[in-house]
Amino acid sequence: MYTHFVFNLYKGKHSLSSDEFKKFLNECFNEIANRNGFKILALNILADHVHILIEHPFMPYSKIMKNIKGASSRQFFLAFPSNRLVDRKLWGRSYHYKKVQKEGIPSIIKYIKEQTVSGYDKRYI
């Protein structure tokens, strides 16, 4: 199965502007995916939300998001404990998803990659 997930930071904060945070979360998401039998086909971490296209075995979407958001939040605050005082939570509760057919994968990957221009969120340039 292929699914495009989008999830926001807690209270819509713009806390992920730092390249250090993005690099850490990129590695974190890949580690979580490997551990849980997912394959990340496309990933884009923006200042206030994340787009991720995953190939995964059949399982509830809530379980996939619990694995991704829960583990990444724990690892993020262990690596950057001072941010815990500012944000208290990393991810918002909600997420959106869309099942993707195999023939639609290239267009979704293109869409996810086009959310940034020269490394910056295209909404703010």
pLDDT digits (tens, 9 = 90+) for 11-22: 877 777 788 989
Owning domain of residue 89 = 2-124
> Is the pTM higher than 0.85?
yes
Structural domains of the chain, count: 1
What pLDDT does residue 12 have? Answer: 74
Segment 13-38 shows an average pLDDT of 90
Residues 6+ apart with CB under 8 A from 48: 8, 9, 12, 13, 14, 15, 16
The answer to whether residue 125 scores a pLDDT higher than 60 is: no
Alpha carbon distance 71, 33 (integer Å)? 10
CATH code of residue 100 = 3.30.70.1290
What pLDDT does residue 89 have? Answer: 84
The answer to whether residue 108 scores a pLDDT higher than 70 is: yes
